[in-house]
Structure 1
Amino acid sequence: MANKIVIIFDFDRTLIDDDSDRWVICEMGLAHLYNQLRPIMPWTSLMDRMVEELHSQGRTTEEIAKCLQGIPLHQRTAAAIKSAHSKGCDLKVVSDANKFYIETVLKHHGLLDCFSEIITNPSTVDEHDRLRIYPYHDINAPHGCTLCPPNMCKGLVFKRFLASLGADYEDTRFIYLGDGGGDFCPALKLGKGDHVMPRKNFPLCDRINSNPELIEAGVHEWSNGEELEQILLRLIDAGNDRNGG
């Protein structure tokens, strides 16, 4: 049986070239309030408070979406995503951003349908056009991982991926792309035959380089959209060649 290739993208500073939370904060004039509350609020609660402030100012979710559409997303990253999807890979997003932000950006760039699943902090828009953002994990029921923030353990998400594969586990290969410290936990759970693509000069890359003995997967560093595309498509094609495809 041919190997299935599952590609997992982090979102902020990996799939896009900025941080979506901070983009909204800066572009929509929330920096002062953010700086006041950052020391005293958990991150996801703080982001919910930020969009609550926008709502109180009369700003609409349409305005937030328009702001998000300005986030830079490298055209070669977009091309790589479309190519990977066309080659039959299963693409997923695992991110500490939120569903509204991610879906808005992906839809704007025509990429949403390339992804089979988006695992992130959930969000809703109520009848008053108030965007709400919630933690992925219940912060009152700690996940117990010391490597990850309270609201999301990406390693636990990855373990659920593995469990869902069942008998297909041995025939599945993973490629994980990330940049942040929260991406180190799932990187530790990748096995031989899998690949991790850390962005150069970001926390994930630093942690991997400081603890190479902990990583079983192949490590492939990248800096920009061109390098991401080249490396990702090379890994996909190499996997397909081994499958006889």
Structure 2
Amino acid sequence: MAASNGAGVVVVFDFDKTIIDCDSDNWVVDALGATQRFDELLLHLPWNSAIDAMMGELHSQGKSTEEIAGSMRTAPLSPHVVAAIETAHALGCELRILSDANAFFIDAVLAHHGLAGYFTEVSTNPAHVDAAGRLRISPYHDFHHGSSHGCTLATCPPNMCKGKVMEEILQELSKEAGKTRRRVVYLGDGRGDYCPTLKLVERDYMMPRKGYPVWDLIVADRHAVRADVRGWADAEDLETVLLDIIHECAAASKMEEDGGHQVVVPAECRSLPLASAPELAMPVLPKAIQAPN
């Protein structure tokens, strides 16, 4: 298909357990032998604060930021996810990341796999290396000084409401010149991915990872989600489902351009099952260990 066929689509990826097949915080902590200490910190600190404190302790033990970045470079990233990113970009889609991980971990992975240039924006918890060489991780929404993001949804952690960020993305897209707003496809797995899911409308798509927390939340109240829901189980599934959606969006855009007249739907779209309540009521797979990302 021509490169312009995905020009009407913005694909927004979660990072942990979506682009990489693990939780980045846990991956680094486990790789550097600090699992038990991190678990202790989580007993009395919010997740985002605990990972910042953990980085401070690793620094005091002589662990360098290069060692931390090196551990992230070994995080599992499937060739199918790489292919999905490259193909979606080649088809003309705009790609973004919306993640409760942090900029340092995400940058390390994207740079290592040559993917940084594919994404126009990465919305995540800020990170920087201070003068002493210690990695600092900050909250996306500052909650340390009595303020908060204001979201009352229990699934949003105090440091980041992805729903607020999604609202900003949708407002930005609605201001673009053109008859209709570009379609958004959102991929995620965790509890924090539920709030942005609720911001999407009928012309958008949600791709929840089957058997993970956001899937369970969508199944529990299917009518709360207005977007077209298309589940995926693994990286190969992610690639197939995402590219099917992009081709489907291209066909829908062509129909809009033609004034709503029927157009020939590409063969790869005809056999696509519509996401429906029965599909989402399928037996839920065993849950993975839950992390807020």
Compare relative contact order (CA 8 Å, sep 6+) and give the higher one, 1 or 2: 1
Match of 1:21 in 2: 25
- Tell me if the contact between 2:173 and 2:181 (Cα under 8 Å) persists in the aligned partners: no
Distance (whole Å) between structure 2 residues aligned to residue 137 and residue 167 of structure 1:
24
- Tell me if the contact between 2:98 and 2:162 (Cα under 8 Å) persists in the aligned partners: yes
TM-score under structure 1 length normalisation: 0.96
Structure 1 residue corresponding to 2:214, chosen from 194, 204, 209:
204
TM-score under structure 2 length normalisation: 0.81
Q: CA deviation at 1:55?
A: 0.7
- Tell me if the contact between 2:8 and 2:250 (Cα under 8 Å) persists in the aligned partners: no
Amino acid at match of 1:123: A
Tell me, which stretches of 5 or more residues in structure 1 are unaligned? none
Match of 1:218 in 2: 228
Structure 2 residue corresponding to 1:80, chosen from 80, 84, 93:
84
Instruction: Report matched runs for 1:1-245 at 5 Å.
Output: 4-139=8-143, 140-147=146-153, 148-168=156-176, 170-244=180-254
Distance (whole Å) between structure 2 residues aligned to residue 5 and residue 226 of structure 1:
21
Deviations along 1:167-189, one digit per CA (max 9) or x if unpaired, are 33832100000000110101011
Q: CA deviation at 1:242?
A: 2.5
Distance (whole Å) between structure 1 residues aligned to residue 209 and residue 49 of structure 2:
28
Q: CA deviation at 1:57?
A: 1.0
Tell me, which stretches of 5 or more residues in structure 2 are unaligned? 258-293
Q: CA deviation at 1:36?
A: 1.6
Percent identity, please.
47
Distance (whole Å) between structure 2 residues aligned to residue 205 and residue 35 of structure 1:
26
Distance (whole Å) between structure 2 residues aligned to residue 166 and residue 232 of structure 1:
23
RMSD, aligned α-carbons: 1.4
Distance (whole Å) between structure 1 residues aligned to residue 166 and residue 241 of structure 2:
22
Deviations along 1:51-102, one digit per CA (max 9) or x if unpaired, are 1111111111111111001110111011000111111111110010000000
SS in 2 for 1:64: helix
Deviations along 1:90-137, one digit per CA (max 9) or x if unpaired, are 111001000000011111111111100000000001232211000000
- Tell me if the contact between 2:31 and 2:71 (Cα under 8 Å) persists in the aligned partners: yes
Instruction: Determine which structure has more spread, i.e. the larger CA radius of gyration.
Output: 2
SS in 2 for 1:13: coil
Number of residue-to-residue matches in the alignment? 244
